Amino acid sequence: MARQVLPVVVLPSDVDALKSHLAEKLTSTDIGVQACSALPDATRAEWGIFYATAMGWTQSSTSILAGASQANLGEGYENELFGWQKRLQSAGCAVPVSDPQPPEAPGTSLVKWATVAVAAVAGAYVVGRVTEVAVEALKLAPRKS
């Protein structure tokens, strides 16, 4: 998922879509691994462990209450798969490479800085109002002669 400025609500349908997308990427990469004769046995075994673990997650049930943590886990698998794809390509295997981090959405930087500016102005306003109240309170306080 793209980097977000504002909080994101993760629904079970979002997690299911992530699982489906990841399963497709895992399967296409595994096809390339199985066809790669240049891959050392140790690397093939490591891939098999990762593949089984990640594919197991894609076939697990989706929790209604743990959507965000499941989405984080899925994104972690996507990132790890991307690392595997680059590693497998450098070993001479014909596997697809799909970067899981899309570029930032247009305007994300503008929204981020606008949010920071609004927070700064609001903070300055609050500090100004608190200062006014504090000065008034000091004027009303009894003084020692």
For 82, the 3-state DSSP assignment is helix
pLDDT > 70? residue 133: yes
pLDDT > 70? residue 18: yes
- Tell whether 82 and 115 lie within a shared domain: no
How far apart CA 43 and CA 91 sit, in angstroms, is: 9
- Tell whether 34 and 54 lie within a shared domain: yes
- Tell whether 79 and 25 lie within a shared domain: yes
- Tell whether 70 and 24 lie within a shared domain: yes
Higher pLDDT, 62 or 82: 82
Number of domains in the chain: 2
Give residue 102's pLDDT: 62
- Tell whether 43 and 76 lie within a shared domain: yes
Buried b (16+ CB within 10 A) or exposed e, 58-89: beeebeeeebeebbebbeebbeebbebbeebe
Give residue 104's pLDDT: 61
- Tell whether 19 and 90 lie within a shared domain: yes
Considering the chain, what percentage of its residues have pLDDT values greater than 70? 88
Give residue 107's pLDDT: 63
- Tell whether 60 and 111 lie within a shared domain: no
Give residue 32's pLDDT: 92
How far apart CA 18 and CA 10 sit, in angstroms, is: 11
- Tell whether 52 and 118 lie within a shared domain: no
What is the phi/psi pair of residue 42, to 5°?
-65, -45
Q: Are the beta carbons of 28 and 84 closer than 8 angstroms?
A: no
- Tell whether 56 and 30 lie within a shared domain: yes
How far apart CA 63 and CA 138 sit, in angstroms, is: 56
Give residue 77's pLDDT: 93
- Tell whether 110 and 91 lie within a shared domain: no
Give residue 145's pLDDT: 63
- Tell whether 54 and 121 lie within a shared domain: no
Name the nearest CA neighbour of 102 among 82, 72, 73: 82
pLDDT > 80? residue 93: yes
Q: Using one digit for the tens of pLDDT, what is the confidence trace for 24-64?
A: 999 999 999 999 998 899 999 999 999 999 999 999 888 77
* Structural domain boundaries enclosing 65: 1-101
Number of H helices, E strands in the chain: 4, 0
Name the nearest CA neighbour of 30 among 8, 50, 59, 57: 50
Neighbours of 130 (CB within 10 A): 10
How far apart CA 89 and CA 78 sit, in angstroms, is: 16
How confident is the model over 80-94, as a mean pLDDT? 91
Higher pLDDT, 117 or 6: 117
